[in-house]
Amino acid sequence: MAAAAAKASRASGALQAGRARLVTAGCARRGLGLALPVWATSPRVGSPMWAQGWALSAGGSAPWRGYSSEAKAEDELKVRYLEEENRGIVVLGINRASAKNAISKNLIKMLSQAVDSLKSDKKVRTVIVRSEVPGIFCAGADLKERVKMHSSEVGPFVSKARAVINEIANLPVPTIAAIDGLALGGGLELALACDIRVAAASAKMGLVETKLAIIPGAGGTQRLPRAIGMALAKELIFSARVLDGQEAKAIGLISHVLEQNKEGDAAYKKALDLAREFLPQGPVAMRVAKLAINQGMEVDLVTGLAIEEACYAQTIPTKDRLEGLLAFKEKRPPYYKGE
């Protein structure tokens, strides 16, 4: 038994060392054209979807396809590029008032199209996910649509929703969920896929799927424990408990809680404030910082440090780094181009 344990230990050490070499070699080999090194597609670390979400675009902005910042009122998703001092911030506004912003086939399609454009657009610096409907963030799956589905359709639909939410999680820029109202089931799973969550004190949120004799199917069973710890996540999922903003802040589910204002958009305004704090920072640095944090949290410390080293190496040859040093020397704000 001792021999078997020693053999297992040696194998584990070799695996760690091999991963570290792959991280360093993969990043160095690709330079700023980095997609992802080989380790990122391993079952332990992530999925090939990272290769899509983290490719650093070598070209300019991708064109919008069939939807625009001038969305009509009846559109289920409004995509807005903010301007002037907010340039670089993109807002995804869910707009299904008649269905409490419930997740439908069409909404999933529109989110997928939006994310496809965002992940390859170098002008995008931060993405905010919010609701255009007062008092609601997202009530979860559209159960009226779901009840009409044949049982054979449910699995593929949930798989597609899970894939789109994963793509949002894998966007290479900071993402913020502004929860100004109800966020239940898939709505909270959508928020959990964002890097940062802010909410109004009056907001209500929870993974309530067990009430319907199902489980969270768009990442909730995995992201909630990572956000608040395993035991508490189990408690909330087993009980289908709904929390208000203050309770969510107390357990670390959200980063900021605000008293709701007359306009009903306190969380969105806080999200905008946070996004403005991110705008002056180096774009390449922001991208690789997110990559280093996300991937490092899924592995042991030794491999995580190798990931950090490889990601740091990507910032060294950039024009942004040289501009940052020059701006510091000249005591002026830096002008970053994302290069």
Report CA torsion sign: 218, 171, 104, 260: positive
DSSP 260-328: --TTS-HHHHHHHHHHHHHTTS-HHHHHHHHHHHHHHTTS-HHHHHHHHHHHHHHHTT-HHHHHHHHHH
Contact 257, 246 (CB under 8 A): yes
Sheet (strand 175-179) strand order: 77-81, 89-94, 126-131, 175-179, 196-200, 256-258
The set of residues, in sequence order, having a beta carbon less than 8 Å from that of 87 and lying 6+ positions away, is 81, 279
The answer to whether 140 and 186 are in contact (CB under 8 A) is yes
Give the chain's count of helices (H) and strands (E): 13, 10
What torsion do the CA atoms of 57, 272, 252, 49 make, to the nearest 10 degrees? -20
List, by residue number, the catalytic residues: 141, 186, 189, 209
